[in-house]
Amino acid sequence: MIRVFTLATILVLLPLAQPAAVTSITPDLLLINAHIVTMNERRPEAEAVAISGGRILWIGANTEARRLYGNSRETLDLNGATVLPGFIDAHTHLMTLGESYLKLNIKDIPTEQAVAALVKHRSSETPRGEWIFGWGWDEGAWAANYPTYRSLTEAAPDNPVFLTGLHGFAGWANKRALDLAGINRGTPDPDNGKIIRDPKTGEATGILTNRAQELIQKHIPALNISQVKRAIELASDECIRNGLTSVHEARVTRVMIQAFRELVKEHRLKLRVYGMLDFADKALVDEWLARGPEIDSANHLFTIRSVKVFADGALGSRGAAMLEPYSDEPRTRGVVTTSQSEIFELTRRCLQHGFQVAAHAIGDGANHMALDAYEQAMKAEPKAGDTRLRIEHAQVLAPMDIPRFARLNVIASMQPTHCTSDMAWAEKRVGPKRIQGAYAWRSVLATGAHLPLSSDFPGETLNPFYGIYAAITRQSPDGRPEGGWYPDQRLSVAEALKGYTTEAAYAEFEERNKGSIEPGKLADLIVISGNEKLSSPAEWLNVRVLKTFINGRLVYNADVKK
Ligand SMILES: [Zn+2]
């Protein structure tokens, strides 16, 4: 039965080849002695997998594997370790993560002198005149005795230096940066910001608080293409160390598109990227709608067929658009950032030109509005076919809107760790009634909707096992609250795993190529410590990725220290 299925798959894969017996193919790689969780319901488990040409050729039992594929070019005995499909994070900010790696990390560096020493070292490897950025000094703890530009000027006299505080409320510049920004004794404080001055001389000390930082920031040049590529590479390395083999990048800019394309051409893009254009750049979106999507059906490395649009802001800052006023601030219902008619118009155009729309919607008002706009657009474009419109976050839903996701086949793209990060204060914002529809994965799934899961890193950790833990427990990593926060909304392990594999693949139209371990699919696999039947949910927090394979190639191996 299995052999018939396999043969059929090979015939599909190699339409020009002579019909070949399974055994006549020499796999590039054979993994044996594994506990393979395939995420394919027809055949949920296997012991061995054969890989050829970057695709899965065959899965089955150890004995069969040795008999059929003893000729494999390479055989790896996994000693019973668990293998899962590579994880797909359906909402990420790879570039933001990468940019943070380009910056000097000064978090937890205890003194001004120690920070200056790091800046001095960075300066020694930075061309004269080029900016040095850093992040992480504690503007709260250091406020009693702020550092000054002098230490940084001494450390890097020939480079402008700007170090952002841990929480972004203050920046610390050297003299070169102050001069470039034209900040001197006479510069007035801007609105909502302060230039900290020496009480005796009135001279700027180099510390700028709140919006005064913009005086410097507006002189900072955008990253050049090689810096963007470097940032993407650094972030990609972190992804594959954590078992991510594909990401849905929730905002790609013009320079990022160029960077991704060049990385693909240079064989340097390590993981698969599904990019969303940003509706805020209307010219870019217009250009793409005119030329049509770019679907990488050859390598499955970089695809653009989605447009992200912001319907509202965030719940914490009360920027999320609610149907009724906030429970803890009755004067506001939040902010709609793109109107229903604009979302409708964008969606209609996207459907005409073969693009998906992914609307960021947090509040129940924004979700209601986006669903209305989607419904109208699908009515206006009845021939659009397989639409798969998405709502990113779907964080607070009115009861009437929960069944609409399944009915309209709108994908609910949700983030388990947002729930556990927000649960301490979310109910204050929306009150005891509306909270029933907040982070309500179980309710959404129960209606039959698609539920891809994601991290939204770097705002949250990119470690998908933390996401699984949050989804199945609704607890913080320290186990609170006991029993879980609104535990009726917990997912099962299988449902959470689907969210990071098959459902995320569906959300990018790639379910035929990704998301499960079955013959014909791309050979994206991870080997993990532990297995999917861990005795306590907290053990998910300790699961580690041992190996990551993309396209059948070992791209990360925990045993090899870099
Ligand atoms: Zn995001």
The pLDDT score that the predictor gives to residue 560 is 76
Query: Average of pLDDT values for 398-407?
Result: 98
CA of 250 to the centre of ligand 1 (A): 6
Instruction: Write down the domain spans for the chain.
Output: 1-86+515-562, 95-217, 225-512
| Arithmetic mean of pLDDT over the chain | 93
Structural contact between residues 456 and 418, judged by C-beta atoms closer than 8 angstroms: yes
Tell me, in angstroms, the distance from the centre of ligand 1 to residue 135's CA.
Answer: 21
Question: What separation in Å is there between the alpha carbon of 108 and the centre of ligand 1?
Answer: 26
CA of 93 to the centre of ligand 1 (A): 6
Could you check whether 1-86+515-562 and 95-217 share the same CATH topology?
no
For the stretch 433-489, pLDDT in tens is: 999 999 999 999 999 999 999 999 988 899 999 999 999 999 999 999 999 999 999
Q: Quick one: which of 144, 122, 3 has its CA closest to 65?
A: 3
CA proximity to 350, closest of 369, 320, 367, 374: 374
Tell me how far the alpha carbon of residue 458 lies from the centroid of ligand 1, in angstroms. Answer: 9
Is the model more confident about 20 or about 81?
A: 81
CA distance 196 to 516: 56
Closest CA to 543 of 524, 523, 525, 527: 527
- What is the CATH superfamily name and number for domain 225-512? Metal-dependent hydrolases (3.20.20.140)
Q: How confident is the model at residue 167 (pLDDT cuts 50, 70, 90)?
A: confident
**Which residues, 6+ apart, have CB-to-CB distance to 139 below 8 Å?**
165, 166, 167, 169, 170, 209
pLDDT digits (tens, 9 = 90+) for 212-243: 999 999 999 889 999 999 999 999 999 999 99
Enter the tokens of residue 555.
């791209």
Residue of 195, 441, 256, 52 lying closest to 247 (CA atoms)? 256
pLDDT digits (tens, 9 = 90+) for 310-354: 999 999 989 999 999 999 999 999 999 999 999 999 999 999 999
CA 460 to ligand 1 centroid distance, Å: 10
Radius of gyration of the chain (CA): 26
Looking at the DSSP assignment, which residues form a beta bridge with residue 361? 393
What tens digit of pLDDT does each residue of 552-561 get? 999 999 987 6
| CB distance 411 to 449 below 8 Å | yes
Q: Measure the CA–CA gap between 543 and 247, rounded to whole angstroms.
A: 20
pLDDT band for 139, please (50, 70, 90 cuts).
Answer: confident
The structural architecture, per CATH, of the domain 1-86+515-562 is Roll (2.30)
Residues 414, 465 contacting (CB under 8 angstroms):
no
Residue 264 has pLDDT above 80, yes or no: yes
What pLDDT shows up at residue 2? Answer: 39
56 has a pLDDT exceeding 90? yes
**Sign of the four-CA dihedral 552, 510, 268, 131:** negative
Confidence of residue 168 (pLDDT cuts 50, 70, 90): confident
Q: Determine the distance separating the centroid of ligand 1 and the alpha carbon of 456, expressed in angstroms.
A: 5
Q: Say how many Å lie between the CA of residue 279 and the centre of ligand 1.
A: 14
pLDDT at 551 > cutoff 90 = yes
Distance (angstroms) between ligand 1 centre and the Cα of 461 equals 13
Tell me the percentage of the chain whose pLDDT exceeds 90. 86
Q: How far is the CA of 459 from the centre of ligand 1 (A)?
A: 8
For residue 33, how far is the Cα from the chain centroid? 32
Q: What is the pTM of this model?
A: 0.87
Give the right CATH number for 95-217 from 1.25.40.80, 2.40.30.10, 3.30.70.580, 3.10.310.70: 3.10.310.70
Tokens 């447009």 locate to 307
Q: For residue 203, count CB atoms less than 10 angstroms from its CB and return exposed for 0-12, middle for 13-18, buried for 19 or more.
A: middle
Spacing, Cα 455 to ligand 1 middle (Å): 9
> In a 3-state reduction of DSSP, which class is residue 139?
coil
What gap in Å lies between CA 276 and CA 278, rounded to an integer? 6
Closest CA to 388 of 447, 446, 344, 450: 450
